Every structure is written in C-alpha cells, then in structure tokens.
Chain A
Amino acid sequence: MAATASDGAGPDVAFTRARAAVYELLASAFDGDIETLAEAMADGSFHELASVLPVAVEVDPLVADDPDPEALSIGYDNLFVVPGPHYVPPFASAHADEPSHEFESDSAFHEAGSAGELYGDPAARMARRYERLGFTPERGDGIPDHVAAQLSFLSTLAAARADADDAAGDALQEIERETLAAMGWLDAFDEAVAGQDRAEGVFAALSRLTRTIVAWDAKRARGEDDTNPQRRRHESATKTTRIRNEDETQPDGFDRR
C-alpha cells in the first residue's frame, strides 16, 4: 500500500468530523446549554462516547432517562457562574501556575502574585489564536480561555480540517495541537469540580470525561505531528508560516492513564 497522508496518523475526514461533533457537545454542556446536556444524558450519548475511550471513565451520573433541567441549571450556576462557596472558575487563567505580567487582573478571587486571576496570559494566548483565524467564540461568556470557548474552538478547527486541503490542514493541525497542548489546566479544573460537585456528580463526570477526551486527543495530535511525513516536508518548505507554540511546554499536567 502506498503511503499517503491518511495512513496511520493522518486526518481522516469521518474521524475529524466526529471529533468536531464531540467537542461541540462538550462545549455546549460547559456553556450552560442545559437543553442539549439533558438531551445527551437522556439518549445515552455520553455512555456511547465513554465506551470507546481507552480508559474507563465513570459516566453513570451522565446517563439518565429523564434529567431535571432545573436542577442541572442550578448546579451549573453554582459551580461555574455564581461566585460563592462552590464556585470553580471555568477558565484557564484561574488555574494557571504563574500570574500574568501582561494583564492587570481585576478578579476578586485572585491575590497578587498567585494563580486565580481573570483574563491572564492563557486568555491572551487564546485570544490571539482566535483573532488570527477570525474566530469569534460564541460560547464562554466572552472569556477567551473559558473551557466552553476552547472546546468550541477545537470543534471549529476539526470541522475546518475535515474540509481543508493538505497544506491548510497541516497549518490547522499545528494550531489544533497548540490549543490542545494549552489545555493541561483541565487537570486542576477537574479536581476542583470533583471537590465541589459531590451531590449530583453530573458536572464532575462531565469534567472527567472532557479531561480524558482532551488528553487522549492531545496525545493523538502529538503522534500525528511526529509521524506525518507530508507534514514534515511542508513544515520545512514554508517555515515562515509556522506558528510559534506560545505554550512551549508539553501538557505535563495531563493524567496519562
């Protein structure tokens, strides 16, 4: 069999579209779209999804014949919207290890010199990626590093890749890889959600499922980068179009179970 870009680790249209769909689902759920969340809980979507992942994820709380939209909505607001005893900021800046030097934080939940600010460096970096591709996040309350915005961006990137030619696809792949690499903060986020969502467990399960999918996808993306000969050729031929990975480090925070 002749080697082509689609061998082994290359983009596969159906697979890429499927990833786009999954990210869109997760993005809506984290954006407070309770209707879609409830629908997916009722039709077994999360169960289907978890069944094909390489590691077992506990999704029982995400499977329900008749979920209560109001309870879900209150749970969502308490966790992700209303600053209070159960609040877990759903954006990367709040979980970053290093405070930003670039933005003055006005977050009340952030002490100078520690993590926890709003609109920190991760937000700036995501905003630059969006700006570059003309992407306006409709999810995530206008917070560029909101988990819903990031997932929604991943969905859009995957959708675009499915239709792109080789060269554009390679460039999109690079941005996708960077974006995935920038989501290591989901580890800390997941642990925080698990600590706060003890009663219902819906969002704890959703967060664990999302963290697992992103980690798995990030690993796939890294493998794709290493093994795709077409991509390497392209990269050397068009050096100036390369985008620097501002996050620099690999997503060490991911749990590689």
Chain B
Amino acid sequence: MSTDDTSNDESDTTADASVSRREFVAAVGGMGAVSLSTSATMSGLDLSSLWEDDPQHYVGTDYGDYEAGDVLYTTCGQCNTFCPIKVRLADDSGNGEYASLIRKLAGNPYSFLNTQPFSQVPYGSDPEDVVTGDLEGTGDVDADRWSLSGGRMCLKGQAGIQTAFDAYRVRKPMKRVGERGSEEWRTISWEQAIEEIVEGVDGEHVSHDGLREMYGYAPQGEVMDDWEAVQNGEMDESAFDEKYEGKLVDTDHPDLGPKANQIVDVGGFRRNFIRTRLWKQGLGSINSHHHAGTCGFSSVLGNVRSYGAGKKRQYSDIENTEYLIVWGTNPMVANKGPTWLAPKLTNAIQDGMRMDVIDPRMSKTAEKAEKWVPVDPGSDAALALGMARWIIEHNRHDLAYLRNPDSEAAEADDEPTWSDATHLVAVDEDAQPKARAGDLGLDGEGYVVVDAETAEVRPASEVDRGALDVDIRIDGDRYRSAWSLYRERVFEHTLEEYADMAGVSADDIAELADEFTSHGKRAAILSYRGPAKHSNGFQNTRAIATLQHLIGNYDWQGGQITPYAGYDTMNGRYELGTVPEGKSPWGLPILRAGTNYEDTSLFDRDDGYPAERPWFPVAPPHQVQELYASAGHEFEAGGERRKGYPYSIEALFIRPYSENHVMAASGGDKIPEAMTDTDAISLLVAFDTVIGETSKYADYVLPEPTYLGRWENFGTYPNKRLADEKISHPTVDVVPDARPAEDVLIDIWKEMDFPGVGEDAIPDAEGELWPLHQAEDFYLKLVTNLAYATKDHPAADADIEGISLPGDATLDDLGEGPVPDADDEELAVFRQAHEKGLGDRFDYDRWKQAVRNEEWRKAVTVLNRGGRFEEPVVNYEEAFAEHGHDYDYVDRYEPSNGYVDGKMRYKLASRVNFYSEVPPQGKDAYSGERFDGLPGVEDVTHFDGSVEVPIVSDGEPDRPLHLINWKPRTQGMHRTTNSPWLRETRPENPLWINPVDAGERGIDNGDAIEIDAGRRSVEGTAMVTEGIRPGVVGAMWGWGRDGDGATETVIDGETRQPAGDDGHTPYEFDEPMTDDAGIAGPRDAGFAINHLQPLDNDLGDIGMSDPVGGSNAQYDAFVEVRRRD
C-alpha cells in the first residue's frame, strides 16, 4: 500500500522521535527557499556499485612505511604446507629482551605458492622495490589499495608470532626432578646437559649411562663374515661374542645390527642434516625416523607401488582440469590447501570445472562441490572398484593407452606414460613376480608381453601394441597379464555389492564413473589421508590410484600431475650428503621394516608365526606409532624374559615440535607407559620449543628456536607446475639460550669423535674439506648449491609448434642458470635485516666464512628471497613489466616453464602399475600370508586379523557410531593450539552428529554429551548437522591437551600455572554453528580424538597399523554418544 493514504498517525511517526513526518513534509513544503524536485536521476549517483563489495573493504588504514631492511623471507612452520613467508620485523621490545619483535607475517611475493591466483614477482626483482610496492606490474597501493608486496597467508601462519613469542617457551636446558612425567624440572647449563648425555650421570632422580658407554659399532661386512665363519664352524661362538661384545645389539642375533641402532632419532624434519649426516653416517644407526606412520604413510606407499617412478601423491593440474574428484582430503583447508590450492580450486570452479567430493562429512571442500558422496569410512576401495567395474563394463577405459607396453610405444602414441596392463605375471610362483625377458629365454631383463599383432611372447620394449587379456602357459607355467588379473579382481563383486559395501547408491557410483570418463585426459583425482588412515589404507589408495590408469591422465595438461620440481641442494658446489670416513648403518630397524620376519634370526628364537608385534616388510621404517611400545614390549623367548622388541632403546632423541606422538598417534595415551619405563628407554632427550605432551616424559628438555629462528630446507610438493626450493633461516632471536638441535648434536658428536662434524667434515666439488661447527656451516653451503643449480628445459631443442615467447626470447633462452649476484645494496639489505632480527646472534663474517667469497653474493640473493622459485616463462621480467601480476603466463606462452605441447613440463614419464610385484614379497607377520599385488576390498583389521570395521565381512561393531576426525580450519598441528588468536576462532572441538542419530538419542545442537569409546569415555559438545553421514560422528583433532602450557609445571621449585582463558569479549558458551565466541578457551579445552581410538586387539598398547602401508589407523573407532544432563 502507498504511504500517501496512511491514515494512522502512529504509523507515520518514528517510534521514539516525536516529530510527525506529515508535519515535517508540510513544513518543508511551505519553505520557499527549497525545492522538492531533486530525484535520483538528477543526483547522478551510481547505484550499480551498491551490488559490489566495497573496494576499500579489505584495506586497513593503520600502516607505516617500511623498507627491505625490515623484512626477511623464510618458511612458515605452523603446518606442513610450509609456505614461503615474509617476516616484517618490528623494532625491539623496548626492554631489551628480544632482538626484535615481529610486526606481521605475510606470504612471500617471490613465490608462486603464495601469490595465487596471480603470478609471483620476477625473481630478479629488487627487494626494496618489492617491499615498498614500487615494482612495475605489482599494483599501486595508492590507486588500487593493494599491491603484491606481500603474498597470501592463512590464519594459522599469521599466528606464528604467538608460537615464537609464547610465554610458555622452554628458556633453559631442563632436567627432570622426580619420576619421568612428574612435570617437575630444574634448569641446568648447556655444558651440564651435554656432559651428562655423553658421559652419563648417577643422580637421585636421573640416572643413566652416557652415549660413550652405550655406543658400539662394527661394519656389517666384517660382522657377517665372522658370523658365517661361526655357522661354518670356522670361528668359535665365544670368540665372536668376545669380539663383538659391546658392539652389537645382541651377539646371538647379529642381524639386529650394531649397538648404535639403540640410539634412536625421532624428528621428522631437517632430514638432510640430522638423519643423513649425523645418524646414518656419523653414528652408523639405522634408526632415524620421521612422522609418516602417524601421517599419510599408507597413501604414500599405495601410490608408490602404483607407479614405476616415485609418485607419492595424487594431485591434478587444477587450472586445466575439467572434472576433479576430491577423495578423502580437504584441500580448501589442508593438504597444502589454504594459500595454494584453495584459490586455485575456487577459480577453477568459477571457470567451469566440476568438482565432486567423496568424504563421510561435508568438508569445506565438499561445500563447494557439485556432488557430495558421503562414503562409509574405510570402504573407499569398494567405491573405487565399483567405479572401475562400471568403466570397464561400459568400455570407457582408454584401450589404446592400456595397450602401450613400454615407453617407445607410448611416445609414438603421444602418451608420456604407459601401463603394466599387458605385462605378464608369473602366477604359479610363490611371490607372483612379473615375468622378465631373461627368465623366458628372451633378450634383456625387461618386462614381457604378448604382441597383439603376432601373438608372440616378446619383450615389452620391442612391441608396439600388447594384448590385454592374456592367460597362457609357457613351458608349462601359467602367466597372466596384469590386466586380466586386475579385471578379474574388479569383477569379483557386482556394482550393487560394491555400493552396499561403500554405503552409497549404485547410481552414485555410476555417475562418478561416467563423469570421470567423460573428459578425456582432463579428469583427475586428488586424494590423501581419508582412505589411507585405516589398516586397509594401502589397498584403498591402490584402488583409487588405478582408476586413473584407466584413462591414462598422467602428465597431461588438466590431468594427474607429479612434478616434484625442485633444485639440487645437497650436491653441486658442496657434497653435503658425503661424510668422509662415514659409517654405514645396517641391521634390523626397531620398527621392523623392510624385512620379512621369517628371514631374520628372530623367527626361530620366537617360534615362528605369529610374531610378537607387527612387521612392515615392504615399507621404510617410519611407523613411529610402534616405536615406544616396541621398546617397552615384554615377552619370553629363547627361555628368557626380554624387554624390547626387537630391542630396547638406550638413548632416544626426540624433536616433538613436529612429532608429538602422545597426541598424534591413535592410542597415543598409552605411549607414556613406555616412555616412563627407564628399562625400555634408558636416556630420553627432547629438543622442544615448549614442554609438550611427549617431551614432558623426557629426562632433559633442551630449548630450541621455533621455525622462525632456525634453518631448514622443507621439502617441495608434487602439486605445482613450476620448480621451487624453500629456505628457512633465522629471523628473530626470542629465547637467548635456545640452541638449534643441529648445534647441540654437533657438540655431542665432537665429544664422541664421530665423523661428519668438526674439521674436515664436508667435501666440496673439488674434494677440498670444509669444517662443520654450527648449523650455518651446513645450511649456507646448501643455499650455495641451490644458488648455483641450473636447469635444462626439455623444449630447448625440441620441435615445438606454435612457439610464442615473451619479447624477443627464443628457444635457446629456455632453461635456467645460477641466480644473479646480490649487488652492494642487496648485501646491505641482507645485513641490515638480519642484524635487526637477530641482534648480537647474527655474525655476518662468520656466516660469510661458511662458503667461498665468490659464492657469497649468490647465497645472499637466495636468502634475500627465502629460496628459489621458478618463473612461469622465459624472459619473465620483461613480460611482467608489460602484463603485471594478473596474467596467466604459464598458459599463454608456448612453451612455458609449466607446459610443453599440452603436457606438463615436469613429468612422471613412467610405467603405472595395475599390479605391483612388491607387496607379495612381503608377508604378514601374524599369519605369514603374502600381501596382495592387486588392489582389493578388505576389512579394517587388527594385527591378529580380527575385524574392527567390517567391509567385506558382516560383523557388527560393539558400538553403533563410527568416529572419524579431521584437521581443523583454524589449527595447523598440535603445535599451534598455544595461539589465543586461533583458539578464539574455535575454542573447542564439538562432535558432529547427524540429526537422525542425534534424534534417536534425544540430543540437541549444543548439548553436553558423553562419547563412549569402550575403553575410554570423554565429555564433549554435540554439533547436530546434516553435514555428516548418518551412523558416522566426528570431530577435529588438536584439542584435549595436557602439555604446552595446558597444565601446571614446576620449574626450579616455582609452580607455573596453565594458560587460562584469553580474549577480548565477554565469553558466551560456544554453541556449535554460531560464531559468537570471542574468547580463547584454555589450552586444555576439548577432547583428544586419538585417545578414543581403539587399541590393537593383540597388542593392547597402541592403535592398529596397516602392515603394508605402515599408517596408524586413525578413523576406525566405534562409539556411543549420550546426552549429559
């Protein structure tokens, strides 16, 4: 109705201003001096802008000018994406406590990883121009309110300031008072710490041998020759015992290796330095392990076994993909997501890419999907093989691709990769290896196929087209093609059976398979931990990987990509992996990997199968979840009561910043039982930034700088078109007494006179030897190798059509030489920024001394940019000045540094395996049965074969709800929960539950609940949402802490209280799905998801593990949920 005919005065008056509108209008109408005739058209306002974001919305107004001397580029360590970042240094703290504060962290604009969807600044750009936003092509701050002077960074990364400046940082070396885990400490000097570690101590609370007493080593060749002599009766056993007493773990079982193996490193990163140099060659210990077992190990190995060349991950060339299946991973949030993949994905979707997401819950990625397929956890192989069945039944696989038996045939067919589909497998043999030409009397050692033209059995390399379905006998032995084995496996179940196992409809499987095979090579799968973190994870991953073999999408633009594109860092100017007179590690790893149980001397001693604990015969030794309980494992064998399987640990060095296993392993709540057992682990040393859940059980906690204060060369990832290499270097000095683990270990190694440190430790390319006294001696040489690394371009001498290069560049210009020298100004900037950030800790001349004078300027160029980042196209600087940051160089030029002729420049270029002959070489340590060379559907089982999650069998779990978990958007690892900024965004981890399940239990959103996992119950909060599959519940991990400032600690007799609530606004209960929380809860908020995981039925001291892939099973608990009144 019109307001003109309003008759009610009440409605014509504002509620609380007693002016009648009518009177006002009348009064104005009577004013001669004013006109009522203006209108919107006359006003000239542009109303269309009302529908756009305020262009100034993202621009803060509180900023100050700064210069290149206020900035250092390094790498973020808040999660394992390891983004290149920019540290904007602030002035000092005023009280002299810190050399510098950090004003802000941002992305590094030199890196393509942090400038998506734009292009990075050219590598040669002057750092001063870049930080001031004055570089041509990067946007003008005054006009655009934006420039490329800083790159993208996620919220976790920004909170790195709170990691570095956490009040709960360890400030001095500390030695425990009371029992392990008593959380009482006293500070000691570095000298005392090193002295006690090396020489031992016999004190009231801490009493242990030193490394000098523990250590022993003898070379494998010498030992095993003597052992053979003993077996042959040529040497007395007592003589052997006497000779090797103190040198071998057990002279009755020399295959366990030297006593050095009982000195164990669990660290994760800084592998090049600590594992390669110090542990393996310096010490001769085989036991240096990283985090893989508590991470995506089964996914990595499932992929590794699916390809002839190293391919560990599944990623697509997102910019050119038409159809993407995201399978059990959440790239908007994790898996190198936030800064790198998230913008790529959203832009690709905007550009028309279809994305479907397979995940039991509606993740941030699934929210953006065309279709969300909530698969039943652990049944991914059923879904994958169901898709494979549909594809094969509908002839949607790429037959021509599958028939290419080798590289030459593939090349002729314009395919960068080929499959083993036509390769023959010797199915009559025990381990069912692939047949080799030599074995069949043919020339060479390559694989063998049946020639599709002649039906002859021939070496694969000599055949243009192989026969796919082969089942033949040669000299009486049966051989089948990998394809016929795979096809038979796929057809073991009907589509409906697969659908039933996966808990999805057959129509959904058909739709996924149809869509996946409707885009030629431009369809791909991005997959990671979801399918893999079960004890059947290896098989789930294999089933998913092989789907892509069916379309042969590898190395194609828009297909599946593999570029581990990096630069050489360990070789070139300096041979950093070489230790003069270094030892060779040997023997059985404490994690029992790489060897079959039955092939060791323990098999007889322990009465054959089943073994005491799991073995991982076809995986490298990184099943760290098994480490602690193995050391504490008590059993009887050979008439003796024993501790330690296969042996106990004399000294354990942990770096829990990236290896907080008490929190990170399923069943990690049981780990302290072994850690507090001084017979299992005699000496326990933790290098840590805080006293975490794992380091608190140590005898000594040694303070380390955070990632913002030390060196690192974090690995690169195979999800990018261009090469890069990231360098971390010290940027701020926060805890004056903190020392990097490298420096401390160098001191210890020197005391022990181990090779690889001290004088004459590192050979250069000319054979001259250089000293290693501190971390810089190693890392600056690594930086120099990187600076001098060169790259050839495959198109430089190729016959390419449609060449289009920027400016007057030619094919001869392709490729890369060493980086340019830093000029005097850059040297000054380098010095100024490091002096500002590190204060007295920075010794310019000492750093410079680590490399040759003539190399220094190139090293500075790399450090001034935080690493090396390949440019998208040759002659980039000129192109960038013309087109700026918002231009798709990689796609617009031919060839670019990303693509050549419609294919990826960095290729897998290898065989892909339907059948892997590696798993059948391994045997399950419980049953003695061989592992499967084909992907298949399996139950999730315990070590003894009992079923935890029935997939193919019909069991009924003890409790009805399947508990899964995921990485939160707001936390990197457990290492970030200290940050109040991050805890404010999500103070705790509510349990997602479907309305169907919640309704049955009378649970409403926000209700207090009890989660009963059988062996343990915890309290939590319900989040009722249709974003999780009925029958499945789940929560974020990272909560429920009792370390890192979450609990009371006593240091030097003084009690330190835990961190309490922190934040800005009055706290209201954090009701899930509302965003009104404005305060960070305490550090111990929420519940620890891994402590609800089931313990292995047979072991009882840790969660289940995948015996093939090695992952710890982390998505396999069953719970009941009850409302708490």
Instruction: Give Cα distance in the complex from A193 to B62, angstroms.
Output: 32
Instruction: Tell me which residues from 187 to 229 in chain A have a Cβ below 8 Å from any Cβ of chain B.
Output: 216, 219-220, 223-224, 227
Cβ of B958 < 8 Å from any Cβ of A?
A: no
Does A133 sit within 8 A of B, measured CB to CB? yes
> Quick one: given A8-B15, A223-B14, are A45 and B34 in contact (CB under 8 Å)?
yes
In the bound complex, CA of A8 to CA of B30 (Å): 24
**What chain B residues lie within 8 Å of A238 (beta carbons)?**
51
Which residues on B sit within 8 Å (CB–CB) of A25?
31, 33-34
A40 touches B33 (CB 8 A): yes
| Residue contact A21 to B17, C-beta cutoff 8 Å | no
Q: Does B28 contact A (CB under 8 A)?
A: yes
Q: Are B31 and A132 in contact (CB under 8 A)?
A: no
Tell me the smallest distance from the CB of A97 to a CB of chain B, in Å. 16
In the complex, the answer to whether B15 meets A18 with C-beta atoms within 8 Å is no
Find out whether the CB atom of A241 lies under 8 angstroms from the CB atom of B53. Answer: yes
Are B61 and A124 closer than 8 Å at their CB atoms?
yes
Grouping DSSP codes into helix (H, G, I), strand (E, B) and loop, the B interface class, with mixed when no group exceeds half, is loop
Is B34 in contact with A220, judged by CB distance below 8 angstroms?
no
Does B23 make an interface contact (CB < 8 A)? yes
Nearest chain A CB to B58's CB is how many angstroms away? 10
- Whether A244 lies near B57 (C-beta < 8 A) is yes
> Could you tell me the distance between the alpha carbons of A172 and B45 in the complex, rounded to whole angstroms?
10
Question: Are the CB atoms of B3 and A132 closer together than 8 Å?
Answer: no
* Contact present for A18 and B32 (CB under 8 Å): no
* Known contacts A1-B8, A15-B21; A6/B3 CB under 8 A: yes
In the complex where A164-B47, A223-B15 touch, is A52 in contact with B31 (Cβ < 8 A)? no
Could you say which residues of chain A place their CB within 8 Å of the CB of B49? Answer: 132-134
In contact, B16 and A52 (Cβ under 8 angstroms): no
> Closest CB-CB distance, A124 to chain B, in whole Å?
7
Distance from B985 Cβ to chain A, minimum over Cβ atoms (Å): 19
Decide yes or no: A51 and B27 within 8 Å by CB, A2-B1, A102-B61, A220-B17 being known contacts: yes
Interface residues in A128-173 (C-beta closer than 8 Å to B): 128, 132-136, 155-157, 159-164, 168, 171-172
- The smallest C-beta distance from B482 to any residue of chain A, in angstroms, reads 52
The interface residues of chain B lying within 8 Å CB-to-CB of A52 are 19-20, 23-24, 26-27
Say whether B55 faces chain A, with CB atoms less than 8 Å apart. yes
The residue in chain A whose Cβ has the minimal distance to the Cβ of B28 is: A18
Chain A: minimal CB distance from B331 (Å): 23
Assess whether A43 is interfacial by the CB under 8 Å rule.
yes
Q: A48-B27, A171-B50 are in contact. Are A160 and B32 (CB under 8 A)?
A: no
Instruction: Chain A residues near B17: list those with CB within 8 A.
Output: 54, 216, 219-220, 223
Cβ contacts under 8 Å, B11 to chain A: 1, 7-8
- State how many angstroms separate the Cβ of B1048 from the closest Cβ of chain A: 40
Minimum distance in angstroms from B9 CB to a CB of chain A: 12
With contact pairs A132-B54, A159-B39 given, residues A22 and B45 touching in the complex (Cβ less than 8 Å): no
Contact digits for A170-188, partner B, Cβ 8 Å, 1 yes 0 no: 0110000000000000000
Separation of A90 and B61 alpha carbons in the complex (Å): 24
Q: What residues of chain A lie closer than 8 Å to B29, measured between beta carbons?
A: 18
- Cross-chain contact of B43 among A160, A171, A220 (Cβ < 8 A): A160
Cβ of A160 and Cβ of B45 under 8 Å apart? Answer: yes
Query: Which residues on A sit within 8 Å (CB–CB) of B45?
Result: 133-135, 156-157, 160
CA distance A8 to B14 in the complex (A): 6
- The answer to the question of B38 belonging to the interface, with a C-beta cut-off of 8 Å to chain A, is yes
B24 with A20: CB separation less than 8 A? no
Question: In the complex, which residue of chain A has the Cβ closest to the Cβ of B58?
Answer: A244
* Complexed CA–CA distance, A244 and B11 (Å): 30
Write the nearest CB–CB distance from A119 to chain B, whole angstroms.
Answer: 13
Q: Does A36 contact B (CB under 8 A)?
A: yes
Q: In the complex, A90 Cα to B17 Cα: how many Å?
A: 28
Across-interface contacts of A24 in B (CB, < 8 A): 34-35, 38
For B19, what are the chain A residues with a Cβ–Cβ distance below 8 Å? 52-54, 216
Task: List the B residue with the shortest CB-CB distance to A238.
Answer: B51
| A9 at the B interface (CB under 8 A) | yes
The answer to whether B36 touches A223 (Cβ under 8 A) is no
Chain B minimum-CB-distance residue to A7: B11
Supposing A6-B3, A220-B17 touch, asked if A241 and B47 sit within 8 A by C-beta, the answer is no
Q: Is B56 an interface residue (CB 8 A)?
A: yes
Q: Do the beta carbons of B40 and A164 come within 8 Å of each other?
A: yes
Report yes or no: A40 in contact with B53, Cβ–Cβ below 8 A.
no
Contact, CB under 8 Å: B33 / A162: no
Answer yes or no: A112 CB below 8 A from chain B CBs.
no
- Are A12 and B3 within 8 A (Cβ)? yes
| Contact call B42/A15, Cβ cutoff below 8 A | no
Contact of B15 among A9, A12, A156, A244 (CB under 8 A): A9
State whether the Cβ of A4 lies closer than 8 Å to any Cβ in chain B: yes
Is there a chain B Cβ closer than 8 Å to A108's Cβ? no
Taking a contact as CB atoms closer than 8 A, the residue among A45, A134, A224 that contacts B31 in the complex is A45
Collect the chain A residues with CB atoms within 8 Å of residue B27's CB.
48-49, 51-52
B14 touches A220 (CB 8 A): yes
B38 partner residues in chain A, CB cutoff 8 A: 17, 20-21, 24, 155-156, 159
User: Are the C-beta atoms of B54 and A21 separated by less than 8 Å?
Assistant: no
Chain A positions within 8 Å of B54 at CB level: 128, 132, 243-244
Cβ-closest chain B residue relative to A11: B3
Interfacial chain A residues near B21, Cβ < 8 Å: 12, 14-15
Q: Which chain A residues border B42 with CB–CB below 8 Å?
A: 159
When the two chains form their complex, are residues A17 and B50 in contact, meaning their CB atoms are under 8 A apart? no
Complex Cα distance, B15 from A227, in Å, reads 9
Flag whether A240 is at the interface (Cβ < 8 A): yes
Among residues of B, the one whose C-beta sits closest to the C-beta of A45 is B31
Q: Are B25 and A18 in contact (CB under 8 A)?
A: yes
Contact A22–B61 (Cβ < 8 Å):
no
Give A69-102 as 1s and 0s: 1 = Cβ < 8 Å from B's Cβ atoms.
0000000000000000000000000000000011
Q: In this assembly, does B477 line the interface, its C-beta being within 8 Å of a C-beta of chain A?
A: no
A31 interface residue per 8 A CB criterion: no
Cross-chain contact of B47 among A7, A160, A220, A227 (Cβ < 8 A): A160
CB distance from B965 to the nearest CB of A (A): 30
Q: A115 at the A/B interface (Cβ < 8 Å)?
A: no
Provide the bound-state CA to CA distance between A163 and B45, in Å.
Answer: 12
From B18, B31, B50, give the contact of A54 (CB < 8 A).
B18
Closest-by-CB residue of B relative to A15 is: B21
Instruction: Decide yes or no whether B96 CB sits under 8 A from chain A.
Output: no
Task: Collect the chain B residues with CB atoms within 8 Å of residue A220's CB.
Answer: 14, 17
B1077-1102 CB mask vs A (1 if < 8 Å, else 0) is 00000000000000000000000000
Q: Are the CB atoms of A240 and B53 closer together than 8 Å?
A: yes
Residues of chain A within 8 A (CB-CB) of B46 are: 133-134
A116 to B29 Cα, complex, angstroms: 38
How many whole Å from B136's CB to the nearest CB in chain A?
Answer: 25
Find B24's partner among A15, A155, A224 (CB 8 Å cutoff).
A15
Interface readout for B60-76 with A: 1 if CB under 8 Å, 0 if not? 01111000000000000
Q: Does A39 contact B (CB under 8 A)?
A: yes
> B34 contacts A22, CB within 8 Å?
yes
Docked CA distance A102–B1 (Å): 48
Q: How far is the CB of B1036 from chain A (nearest CB, A)?
A: 25
Minimum C-beta distance from B223 to chain A (A): 71
Q: Please name 11 further chain A to chain B contacts, defined as beta carbons within 8 Å, in addition to the given A4-B1, A20-B36, A219-B17, sorted by A numbering.
A: A1-B8, A6-B2, A52-B24, A133-B49, A159-B40, A159-B43, A160-B43, A164-B40, A216-B17, A220-B17, A241-B52
Which residues of chain B have a CB within 8 Å of any CB of chain A? Answer: 1-4, 6, 8, 11-12, 14-21, 23-36, 38-47, 49-57, 61-64
Q: Give me 29 A-to-B residue pairs in the complex whose CB atoms sit less than 8 angstroms apart, sorted by A's number.
A: A1-B8, A8-B15, A14-B21, A17-B38, A18-B25, A21-B34, A24-B34, A25-B33, A39-B33, A40-B31, A45-B31, A45-B32, A101-B62, A101-B63, A128-B54, A132-B56, A135-B43, A135-B44, A155-B38, A156-B45, A157-B45, A159-B42, A163-B40, A168-B50, A223-B16, A224-B14, A227-B15, A241-B51, A244-B57
What are the nearest 3 A-B pairs in CB distance? A134-B46, A40-B33, A163-B40
User: What is A's interface to B at a CB cutoff of 8 Å?
Assistant: 1-2, 4, 6-10, 12-15, 17-22, 24-25, 36, 39-40, 43-45, 48-49, 51-54, 101-102, 121, 124, 128, 132-136, 155-157, 159-164, 168, 171-172, 216, 219-220, 223-224, 227, 238, 240-241, 243-244
